[in-house]
Structure 1
């Protein structure tokens, strides 16, 4: 593989990779592309999210019912919060008032109030089977959640803390991404070969089509240009770039080892991808659409994140 590109050398803060089967976080130095630390967390860390004040990145340990707070600039552990039941996926609302978790094993969604430091459970909502990923609209009114094993998408009204509607999806829905000012939702079908499109502008949702991308369409990441989004096709070993205005695939390119979660550097030149089945972080030069290096990490690497990321 090629040596470091100028784009890669622009990164200066740590790259975090969650090793789900090793209960740890790999901390990658983006200057040397070496794992400089492997820090124990709770069991099965899958996803992570930045706090609204950008002082902490939260790692959700689903099988340990805990959250580990890290300093995003130094990768030092700040604190561990226990009693957060089965936090598989997590997300803050844009207005910074709500913190939502999807209980993948226990079939619930939890709504927490956030005061800037502490979390208070407001409501636990029973859902369908295996809630997977969350998207919250820009007005902080609705949390959309996929049900991986009952093939559904639900809308949770945050004000009333109730399920507003439920709609069938294609097989094994995973990540969600909102476009057209959240009037349209894109849902990755991990059990299929594309992204399902839902019109959610009206009182009832409508499935309006599927964007063919590749088998095992799973996770999204915005390119930061306000126009395109990437989706990882875990079974096809590829990444597809979707035009969010036309909802068409502009390009697809190979990434090996079961590409899963992604992050894009702030300058839009470098893509970080966890190769889930290869125990590696793959680094892609977005100008050439080539994997330029792979970094060995732990077992079943899932979430990946860096503070210097492109606009979501």
Structure 2
């Protein structure tokens, strides 16, 4: 058994990789690091999210207008919900009352009530061109979304389901990440060379810094120590570690072939990242800052997720 396999022998739950252009999910064994099977979903699955009861991981199938529920432990399909309009990105509020989706190609955000089993549409909010990624504050009061092709950041009041603010950004804003104190928001500039950082403690967002990370800054993943967050730089083929107390880059990792969504192992030792242009899941050792394994998957791998993950802050 390899050193990497030994290091992951504790992991009992599979790693899921969404193959956006194949319309399926690769199920990876975290000990042997081999693909066990592929689960058909719908067209263009891009992102996935755990249900509040932790019994299902939801795969959002954007072009099929559907959600596929998969058991995160057995990798068995549980059910499919249809009639969900263009679910590109998705997120539950921390109080578990709201389920929010961004319709990337249809230019709206949908806010649903969540009863523990099913979403019920409450409000459809026109946003501008290409709403991309979502973040919800810890108090479950505000949704933040990047509007990719309008170069804009918007905030939505969850209680009233109305737009609160619109803020111009740099080129092609993508993922958004809020610090645990709800005071600072990071936005990846896929059309630029870094991350825009906003003070969101007041009534209107205020740009406080443009942090260079690399070309095509795109997706965030907290390291799990409540101090650092990773951002994948899709064009630069790197991953930057940001200290969100000092707002500085403190480490840089390789991110081969268009790094996109990431996951961090529960022990905090490894980064798993979708290498979109290489059809691979790449595993990076955080201590040595080196690629230690690549696992072949499907076309245009995007979302990456496992139940055995480091904390989300």
TM-score using structure 2 length:
0.98
Where in structure 1 do 4 or more consecutive aligned residues deviate above 4 Å? none
* Inter-partner Cα distance in structure 2 for 1:27 and 1:226: 29
Deviation at 1:108, TM superposition (A): 0.1
SS of residue matched to 2:91: strand
SS of residue matched to 2:150: coil
- 2:258 alignment partner in structure 1: 258
5 Å-filtered alignment, 1:166-245, equals 166-179=166-179, 181-245=181-245
5 Å-filtered alignment, 1:21-100, equals 21-100=21-100
* Inter-partner Cα distance in structure 2 for 1:242 and 1:183: 16
Paired residues of 2:180 and 2:226 also in contact (CA < 8 A): no
Structure 2 unpaired stretches of 5+ = none
Structure 1 unpaired stretches of 5+ = none
* Inter-partner Cα distance in structure 2 for 1:38 and 1:205: 42
Q: Please tell me whether residue 310 in structure 1 is matched to residue 310 in structure 2.
A: yes
Deviation sequence 1:242-293 (CA, Å, 0-9, x none): 0010010001121211000000011101111000100000011111111101
* Inter-partner Cα distance in structure 2 for 1:224 and 1:143: 22
* Inter-partner Cα distance in structure 2 for 1:212 and 1:11: 35
* Inter-partner Cα distance in structure 1 for 2:171 and 2:5: 39
* Inter-partner Cα distance in structure 2 for 1:168 and 1:234: 22
Paired residues of 2:102 and 2:108 also in contact (CA < 8 A): yes
Root-mean-square deviation (Å): 0.9
Deviation at 1:3, TM superposition (A): 5.2
Deviation at 1:5, TM superposition (A): 5.3
SS of residue matched to 1:9: coil
Compare 272-281 and 8-17 and name the one that shifted more: 8-17
